Structure 1
Amino acid sequence: MDTTVETAVRLRVIDWVRQRAEANGGFLHRQELLSFRIDGRDLPIIDFSRGIRNPQDFASTLSIVTSATGPYDDVEAEDGLLHYAYRKGDPFSGDNRKLRTAMETGQPLILFRKEQPNYLTPVVPVYVVDDEPENRRFVIALDEAFRFMGEIRDLAEPQREYARRLARQRLHQPAFRTRVLLAYDTRCAICELKHGSLLDAAHIVPDSEEHGVPTTSNGLALCKIHHAAYDQNMLGVSPDYRVAVNRALLDEVDGPMLRHGIQEMHGREIVLPRRRADRPDRDGLAWRWERFAAR
């Protein structure tokens, strides 16, 4: 395939992945990625059985999949960059050759994070910015700017902090959202709204706190209005899983959104994940409840 044509197709695929994931709630199902078609032809976006997708007529890799339980040593480093291990075989042929071509040409890739079986969180676009033959791995960055920052192995501290901030925004937060929304079957724990694009993963203990970890038990799937209300202590969730609305807000007279969307949630029990391990941590809820009650 001509390079210009490949780039155009690649960008269309990336755009579709981004839009589809947002509509779902931040993630895609494995089957819709495998059955993707473009211009009347099949073009699976991921490989059926491997963690790398190299379409036959593409010069460069299209996508990579990372998983904490995968067979390769793919790790996110403290500098906010992903170290992606060479695939099996000759380091200068096959999958590794197409990843190296992506680095040389600057082609954008799709990174998928496998949070649960069959569900993948896309991070788009990402770029191969370095090759470390001595360590048998490539370095993947979340911003094209890293291609022009000079020696990746010797980044200045401001550049490292930028990479770490990107990792929090584009890796950790979307992964947290995926885990929480899937635990709650993609519905708001308070009002049961089921539109993924209108749902967020709200931290019970904020991530600015030392114990505000991005685990499912520290999250609540909330629609955007209830997430905002929760963050502003307009409503709270007690350790026994009941919703309480701020007294001043309960007494306020406004339109139907306030009445039906917030005030009528007072006293309601939240919807809980089916898996007990995913349910909100009661100690975290108690910590947050104290701050709500003090308002």
Structure 2
Amino acid sequence: MLTAYEYRCAFCGYEGLIDGASVGLEAAHVRWWAFDGPDDLTNGLCLCSIHHLLFDKGVLGASADRTVTVSTRFASRSPAAERVVLSLAGARVLGPQRCLPTVSADHLEWHTHQVFRGPARERVPAV
């Protein structure tokens, strides 16, 4: 998964290395393995550690049009949360290398209905 996404977070583009090894990136199932989610590219995203956790908790999601969704139920007033979470609303989800399959719409729909704690925030225009 990490190689397919060229070692960058599909939500924020983070990429990090220490001594030549990737750090802070993880393979995330869209439809959870326990709910018959396959272990393949059609059911995965490369996410940084914080976005993986927030994706699994339903704070973040990905819509059918491949944009990041942020739950209106997520609350924080910190500048860090604004930069790391809230600013992602409506951002384009980065895909894998061009020759590889993207995440299945069926798996994204499953995550939206079973995990994401909507409704989604509207994208805030940049000032």
Which structure: larger Rg? 1
Flag as ranges the 4+ runs of structure 1 deviating above 4 A: none
Match of 1:261 in 2: 84
Structure 2 counterparts to residues 22-33 of structure 1, below 5 A: none
Greater fraction of residues in helix: 1
Distance 2:117 2:76 in 1: 22
In 2, the alpha carbon distance for the partners of 1:184 and 1:247 equals 28
Q: Secondary structure at the match of 1:200?
A: strand
Match of 2:12 among 164, 178, 191: 191
Maintained 8 Å contact 2:72/2:118:
no
Unmatched tracts of structure 2, length 5 or more: 17-21, 120-127
Residue 216 of structure 1 aligns with which residue?
Answer: 41
Count of residues in correspondence between the two structures = 113
Residue correspondence of structure 1 range 232-247 to structure 2 within 5 A? 232-247=57-72
1:181 aligns with 2:2: yes
What 5-or-longer segments of structure 1 have no aligned partner?
1-179
- Larger RCO: Structure 1 or Structure 2 (Cα < 8 Å, ≥ 6 residues apart)? 2
Listed as ranges, the matches of 1:26-175 within 5 Å are: none
- Over aligned residue pairs, what C-alpha RMSD do you find? 1.6
State the alpha-carbon separation in 1 of the partners of residues 45 and 26 from structure 2: 8
Normalising to structure 1: TM-score of the pair?
0.37
Q: 2:29 aligns with which of 189, 200, 203?
A: 203
1:282 equivalent to 2:105? Answer: yes
**Is the Cα–Cα contact under 8 Å of residues 183 and 275 in structure 1 kept in the other structure?**
no
- Cα separation, 2, equivalents of 1:261 and 1:287: 24
Tell me how far apart the structure 1 counterparts of residues 65 and 100 of structure 2 sit (CA, whole Å). Answer: 16
Structure that is richer in strand per residue: 1
